[in-house]
């Protein structure tokens, strides 16, 4: 009994684990990185297995990490637990995660940190413990066992107040270190000195005294120094601030407030850095007017070559001067970026001072056609090679070309997202221009203003319906998001190697079109409205090497028409035979219909279908007439039906014999008694109805006569409709049964069931014939 209970428990546990694992895998990708972020979890999911390599549990409501939560996730390499409510972590919670490389515990509620959490994480390279509630890093070294640690982010904005020498023991090299310590008050001198090399340090420290202490410790170890969130730089603080003269190569000021004085003081400090190469000011505010008198005595900017200013606001924008006080310091600047800083003009004399400038970025500013004349006057920026003036308020591309024409080394221009909706027919460009970007400029058509020297052209996001420019040296063409319905003509761009025509109205492209691009290596035609014709499908599905040329093939090439394949990938779309060979199918249908008509015609002829149709129509007409009244006046003793070929015998022999007999018989002959102007069918029907008998003079000619056939058939109608014995048959000459057409089935039946009179050739027998005929007519 105990054994059974134990077995049942084991099976239950195994089954539950299996179900849990199946549930977990629904949120995992092919590499077993599982994403459970923002799912309101209050605990780490159970059932984690050793095949999981990444686990994202960010933005949940987890409060603790227990010993068993991650025990079986031994192959975990990334663990993201930021933005939860974690207060406690078991000392052995990460014990089995020896392969873990990235651990993020930021933005939780940890009030103390334990070295035992990290003691077994021998592979850890990146650790983020920012945004918690601890005030210090613990009583014992926290990171001493993390020999592979290269990225470290620590501190918080309200509680972190103490840094000691022991805190960084065991760390000798870091690629990036961020210290968020707005409330840092105690810094033990030398705490950061133990780290021999730091590629990039980010300091968010408000205390000037503490910041000065830190900078003294890292002077010889930091390559990139970044200072964040400094709202006040007073003179006493700046005089004490020093980065020495050794290792720092790049300085970043992010979210700082600069005045004329502080900007000048910082420039003096930076001039003392013998290896400084780059200065970057981002998301900051300038409260001055550009009067940097402190720099007039400075003879050189040292080794500084790159200046980047992004998202700088100016409180006194309309009062800012021409920065003439710093002209003598611009000689060695090679790269200059002023992005989103409301620059509307560079004074001509100032632009002439950039003797070494090769790269200039004035994107997202207020440059206009008029101010371009001053900013790029003659002899300005003599060595300029690359210019970015995207997203300004320029409208005259010809004027831009003219302003830059004097630049002999100029190769690259980005003038995208301006308003060049109209383009002049010709422009004067620098002869060295190779790369031109005029995307997003509302251009309706391109002209020969575009220089033929170009190797790369981007005209994406315009209103172009076609591309017919002759650019013999062009290697790359970007024409995304326009209105093209067909590929550009290869005759004009024969050297192109890369062509991007995404998001147009491209219907298709043929083997012949692509064949003309002899140097084409890549074609990106994704997201177009392809009309999947048979010819197009045949080419792209069977073309050799098409997959090597088309970028994004096959998943981004979708049929838009016809409706039978709309929404399907071009690679797998299949059309029916009628859609692919419509002309052939129509031709075959016509041939088949012609053959069928011929067959029907032959059958109609052989089976006398036309005669049957005529008789059917006549029968219907007869049926519409009222049924004959038996008491109706009878005018004739007999209606005579005969062939015109037998009229001589009928009229000269039979009529004479019967109408002159005693008593005489009154006969109805169509030649004599039919009412003129009346439809012949009605005459036949009326004559038969007004006669006691219908006398058929049968001969070979009779069965070939069309009207005799009608008369015989109408007599059949009377015979069968009225059940009388009105038909009298005279066989004028012998008729073989096989000569009687099959449609005369009633005649055959009459001849087989009814006695007929045969005209004798012997004169002695003729009197008997006449006697029998008179007797038949009287009966």
Q: Where are the domains of the chain?
A: 464-580, 583-624, 635-778
Residue found under tokens 């720092």? 248
Q: What span, in angstroms and rounded, lies between the C-alpha atoms of 225 and 234?
A: 20
Contacts of 239 (CB under 8 A, 6+ apart): 265
Question: Taking the CB of residue 483, how many other CB atoms lie within 10 A of it?
Answer: 13
| Residue 511 burial (10 A CB sphere; 0-12, 13-18, 19+) | middle
Find the angle CA(338)-CA(340)-CA(342) to the nearest 5 degrees: 90
Residue found under tokens 């997201």? 527
Please tell me the predicted confidence (pLDDT) of residue 545: 77
Instruction: Give the DSSP H or E segment for 308.
Output: strand 306-310
Q: What span, in angstroms and rounded, lies between the C-alpha atoms of 546 and 287?
A: 59
Peptide bond into 407 cis (omega under 30): no
Please say if the pLDDT value at position 5 is more than 60: no
Give the alpha-carbon dihedral of 239, 241, 244, 248, to 10 degrees.
-130
What is the arithmetic mean of pLDDT over 402-426?
95
Q: What span, in angstroms and rounded, lies between the C-alpha atoms of 397 and 416?
A: 11
Residues 471-516: tens digit of each pLDDT: 999 999 999 999 999 999 999 999 999 999 999 999 999 888 888 9
Please tell me the predicted confidence (pLDDT) of residue 631: 54
Long-range contacts at 239-244 (CB < 8 A, ≥ 24 apart): 239/265, 240/208, 240/212, 241/208, 241/211, 241/212, 241/215, 241/269, 242/212, 242/215, 242/216, 242/269, 242/272, 243/215, 243/219, 243/269, 243/270, 243/272, 243/273, 244/216, 244/219, 244/220, 244/272, 244/273
Instruction: Assess contact for 8 and 15: CB atoms under 8 A.
Output: no
pLDDT above 70 covers a percentage of the chain that reads 85
Find, among 466, 414, 417, 477, the residue nearest to 444 by Cα.
466
Question: Taking the CB of residue 577, how many other CB atoms lie within 10 A of it?
Answer: 10
- Measured in whole angstroms, how far is the alpha carbon of residue 688 from the centre of its chain? 82
**What is the rounded end-to-end Cα distance, in angstroms, of the chain?**
117
Please tell me the predicted confidence (pLDDT) of residue 13: 41
What's the chain's average pLDDT?
A: 85
What is the arithmetic mean of pLDDT over 224-239?
76
Show the tokens assigned to 220.
């010889």
Do the domains spanning 464-580 and 635-778 agree at the CATH topology level?
no
Please say if the pLDDT value at position 628 is more than 70: no
What is the arithmetic mean of pLDDT over 376-388?
96
Half-sphere exposure of 58 (CA within 13 A, CB side): 14
Q: What span, in angstroms and rounded, lies between the C-alpha atoms of 776 and 10?
A: 115
Residues 692-743: tens digit of each pLDDT: 888 888 888 777 766 666 666 665 555 545 445 677 888 888 877 666 666 5
Residues 520-566: tens digit of each pLDDT: 999 999 999 899 988 888 888 887 778 889 999 989 999 998 888 99
What is the arithmetic mean of pLDDT over 391-403?
96
Find, among 286, 279, 326, the residue nearest to 306 by Cα.
279
Least confident segment among 464-478, 569-583, 636-650, 736-750: 736-750
Most confident of 24-33, 95-104, 558-567, 684-693: 95-104
Please tell me the predicted confidence (pLDDT) of residue 757: 84
Phi, psi for 214 (deg, rounded to 5): -65, -45
Find, among 532, 526, 524, 544, the residue nearest to 568 by Cα.
532
Show the tokens assigned to 572.
């797998």
CATH topology of domain 635-778: Rossmann fold (3.40.50)
Q: Looking at 589-726, which runs of residues are DSSP E strands?
A: 636-641, 667-668, 691-698
- Please name every residue paired with 568 in a beta bridge, in sequence order, or none if there are none: none
> Which of 277-309 are b and which e, b meaning 16 or more Cβ less than 10 Å from the residue's Cβ?
bbbbbbebebebbbbbebbeebeebbebbbbbb
How large is the C-alpha radius of gyration of the chain? 54
Task: Please tell me what DSSP assigns to residue 558.
Answer: B
464-580 belongs to CATH 3.80.10.10: yes
Higher-scoring residue by pLDDT: 559, 290: 559
Find, among 755, 650, 777, the residue nearest to 701 by Cα.
650
Phi, psi for 727 (deg, rounded to 5): -90, 130
- Name the pairing type of β-strands 335-339 and 306-310: parallel
Half-sphere exposure of 49 (CA within 13 A, CB side): 13
Please tell me the predicted confidence (pLDDT) of residue 130: 96
Q: What span, in angstroms and rounded, lies between the C-alpha atoms of 530 and 560?
A: 5
Binning the chain into helix, strand and coil, the percentages to the nearest 5 are 30, 20, 50
Phi, psi for 296 (deg, rounded to 5): -65, -30
Instruction: Assess contact for 393 and 414: CB atoms under 8 A.
Output: no
Question: Taking the CB of residue 602, how many other CB atoms lie within 10 A of it?
Answer: 10
Residue found under tokens 């003599």? 382
Q: What span, in angstroms and rounded, lies between the C-alpha atoms of 450 and 425?
A: 9
Half-sphere exposure of 305 (CA within 13 A, CB side): 9
Q: What span, in angstroms and rounded, lies between the C-alpha atoms of 389 and 337?
A: 11
Please tell me the predicted confidence (pLDDT) of residue 720: 45
Residue found under tokens 């102007």? 677
What is the arithmetic mean of pLDDT over 40-57?
93
Task: Please tell me what DSSP assigns to residue 550.
Answer: B
Please say if the pLDDT value at position 308 is more than 80: yes
């Amino acid at each position: 009994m105990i054994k059974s209970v134990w077995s049942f428990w084991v099976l239950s546990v195994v089954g539950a684990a299996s179900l849990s694992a199946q549930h977990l895998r629904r949120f995992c990708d092919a590499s077993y990185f599982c994403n459970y972020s923002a799912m309101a979890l209050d605990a780490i999911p159970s059932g984690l297995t050793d095949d999981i390599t990444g686990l994202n549990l960010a933005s949940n409501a987890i409060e603790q990490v227990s010993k068993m939560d991650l025990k079986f996730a031994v192959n975990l390499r990334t663990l993201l637990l930021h933005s939860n409510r974690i207060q406690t972590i078991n000392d052995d919670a990460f014990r089995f995660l020896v392969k873990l490389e990235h651990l993020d515990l930021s933005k939780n509620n940890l009030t103390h940190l334990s070295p035992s959490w990290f003691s077994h994480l021998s592979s850890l390279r990146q650790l983020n413990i920012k945004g918690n509630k601890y005030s210090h890093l613990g009583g014992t070294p926290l990171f001493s066992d993390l020999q592979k640690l290269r990225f470290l982010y620590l501190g918080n904005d309200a509680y972190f107040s103490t840094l000691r020498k022991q805190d960084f023991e065991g760390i000798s090299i870091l690629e990036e270190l961020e210290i968020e310590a707005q409330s840092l008050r105690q810094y033990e001198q030398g705490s950061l000195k133990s780290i021999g090399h730091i590629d990039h340090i980010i300091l968010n420290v408000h205390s000037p005294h503490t910041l000065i202490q830190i900078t003294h410790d890292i002077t010889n170890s930091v390559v990139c120094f970044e200072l964040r969130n400094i709202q006040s730089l007073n003179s006493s603080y700046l005089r004490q601030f020093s980065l020495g003269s050794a290792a720092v190569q790049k300085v970043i000021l992010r979210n700082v407030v600069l005045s004329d004085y502080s900007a000048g003081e910082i420039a003096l400090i930076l001039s003392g850095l013998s290896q400084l190469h780059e200065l970057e000011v981002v998301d900051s505010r300038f409260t001055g007017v550009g009067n940097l008198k402190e720099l007039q005595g400075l003879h050189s900017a040292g080794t500084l070559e790159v200046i980047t200013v992004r998202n700088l606001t100016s409180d006194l924008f309309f009062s800012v001067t021409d920065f003439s006080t710093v002209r003598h310091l611009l000689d060695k600047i090679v790269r200059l970026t002023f992005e989103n800083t409301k620059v509307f003009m560079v004074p001509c004399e100032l632009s002439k001072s950039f003797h070494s400038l090769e790269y200039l970025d004035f994107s997202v500013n207020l440059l206009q056609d008029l101010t371009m004349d001053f900013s790029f006057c003659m002899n300005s920026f003599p060595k300029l090679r690359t210019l970015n003036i995207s997203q300004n308020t320029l409208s005259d591309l010809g004027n831009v070309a003219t302003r830059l024409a004097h630049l002999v080394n100029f190769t690259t221009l980005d003038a995208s997202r301006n308003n060049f909706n109209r383009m002049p027919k010709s422009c004067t460009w620098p002869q060295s221009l190779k790369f031109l970007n005029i995307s997003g400029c509302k251009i309706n058509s391109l002209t020969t203003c575009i220089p033929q020297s170009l190797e790369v052209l981007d005209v994406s996001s315009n209103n172009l319906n076609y591309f017919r420019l002759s650019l013999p040296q062009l290697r790359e063409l970007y024409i995304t998001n326009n209105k093209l319905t067909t590929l550009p003509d290869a005759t004009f761009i024969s050297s192109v190697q890369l062509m991007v025509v995404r998001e147009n109205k491209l219907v298709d492209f043929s083997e012949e079109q692509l064949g003309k691009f002899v140097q084409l290596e890549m074609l990106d035609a994704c997201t177009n409205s392809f009309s999947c014709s048979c010819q197009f499908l045949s080419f792209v599905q069977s073309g050799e090497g098409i997959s090597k040329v088309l970028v994004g093939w096959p998943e981004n090439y979708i049929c838009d028409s016809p409706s039978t394949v709309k929404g399907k990938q071009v690679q797998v779309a299949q059309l029916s035979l009628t859609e692919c060979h419509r002309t052939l199918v129509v031709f075959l249908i016509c041939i088949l219909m012609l053959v069928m008509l011929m067959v029907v015609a032959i059958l109609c002829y052989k089976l006398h279908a036309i005669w049957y149709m005529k008789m059917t129509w006549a029968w219907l007409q007869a049926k519409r007439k009222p049924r004959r009244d038996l008491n109706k006046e009878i005018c004739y003793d007999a209606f005579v039906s005969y062939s015109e070929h037998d009229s001589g015998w009928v009229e000269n022999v039979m009529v004479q014999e019967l109408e002159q007999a005693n008593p005489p018989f009154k006969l109805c002959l169509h030649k004599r008694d039919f009412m003129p102007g009346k439809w012949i069918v009605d005459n036949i029907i009326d004559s038969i109805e007004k006669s006691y008998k219908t006398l058929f003079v049968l001969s070979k000619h009779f069965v070939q006569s069309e009207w005799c056939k009608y008369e015989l058939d109408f007599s059949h109608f009377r015979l069968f409709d009225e059940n009388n014995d009105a038909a009298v048959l005279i066989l004028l000459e012998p008729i073989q049964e096989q000569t009687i057409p099959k449609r005369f089935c009633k005649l055959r039946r009459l001849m087989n069931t009814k006695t007929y009179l045969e005209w004798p050739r012997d004169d002695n027998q003729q009197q008997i014939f006449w006697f029998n005929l008179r007797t038949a007519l009287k009966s």
